[in-house]
Structure formats: structure tokens, C-alpha cells
């Protein structure tokens, strides 16, 4: 049961990227795209903590459970976005929306 309680948020997070890809636009700033990816992870992390009964443990333990579950949802979403969803859906979304997905520009290192 503990294994399911810890893997469920990660598995739920694997399903979030296609929805976020439909909502975000390439013209949005990096901060807006981060919020569009993080807010569903926060809601789903809180929901999985609530459904698992981890919020009944009290304030410090419940807060830690929400933080852990949110980070698992966000990590699962980011990993599957980079490895599975983006390569799979990039061309289909470009045809659907008419705009190709662009990578964020890399910053030059100052040494």
C-alpha cells in the first residue's frame, strides 16, 4: 500500500503534459509556462494527499505530504514531457495550432 501511495502521484503526473501542451503557447514567457505546468501539479499533489488520507496527520506532516506529492506529480510530468509526450505530439500540435513548439533560448554562461 505504501508503494502505491508513493507511486500514484508520479503516475498521475505522467498524464498532465498533454493538457498543459494544449493550454500553453510558444509566445508566453518562461514564467507563465512554468506556472501553467506547476499549478496543475500543485492541485493534483494536494488531491492525491487528500485521497490518500495524508492530510489527517496534522499540519506539519500534512504539509510535507503535499510538498512531496506535488514534487512527484511535477517530476513525473516533466520527465514524460521531455521523453515521451513532446516527441510524440509536437508535430500533431503544430498542425493543430498552426505554430511550431519552440525551445527556450539558452543563456550564455558568464565566466
Break the chain into its structural domains and give their ranges.
Answer: 2-20+28-97
Question: 20-67 pLDDT, tens per residue?
Answer: 888 888 788 989 999 999 999 999 999 999 998 888 888 899 999 999
- pLDDT digits 0-9 by tens, 27-40: 889 899 999 999 99
CA 43 to chain CA centroid, Å, is 10
State mean pLDDT over 76-100: 81
Q: Report the pLDDT value the prediction gives residue 110, as an integer from 0 to 100.
A: 66
pLDDT confidence of residue 91: 75
Q: Sorting pLDDT into bands at 50, 70 and 90, what band is 111?
A: low
Mean per-residue pLDDT of the chain: 85
Residue 85 pLDDT > 70: yes
In order of 22, 86, 103, the CA distances from 19 in angstroms are: 5, 12, 18
Q: What are phi and psi of 25, to 5 degrees?
A: -125, 150
Decide: 17 and 80 in contact? Cβ < 8 Å: yes
Amino acid at each position: 500500500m505504501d508503494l502505491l501511495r508513493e507511486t500514484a502521484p508520479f503516475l498521475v503526473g505522467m498524464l498532465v503534459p498533454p493538457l498543459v501542451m494544449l493550454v500553453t503557447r510558444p509566445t508566453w514567457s518562461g514564467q507563465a509556462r512554468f506556472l501553467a505546468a506547476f499549478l496543475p501539479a500543485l492541485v493534483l499533489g494536494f488531491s492525491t494527499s487528500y485521497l490518500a488520507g495524508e492530510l489527517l496527520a496534522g499540519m506539519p506532516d500534512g504539509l510535507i505530504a503535499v510538498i512531496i506529492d506535488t514534487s512527484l506529480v511535477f517530476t513525473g510530468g516533466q520527465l514524460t514531457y521531455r521523453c515521451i509526450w513532446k516527441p510524440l505530439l509536437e508535430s500533431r500540435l503544430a498542425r493543430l495550432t498552426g505554430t511550431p513548439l519552440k525551445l527556450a533560448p539558452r543563456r550564455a554562461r558568464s565566466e
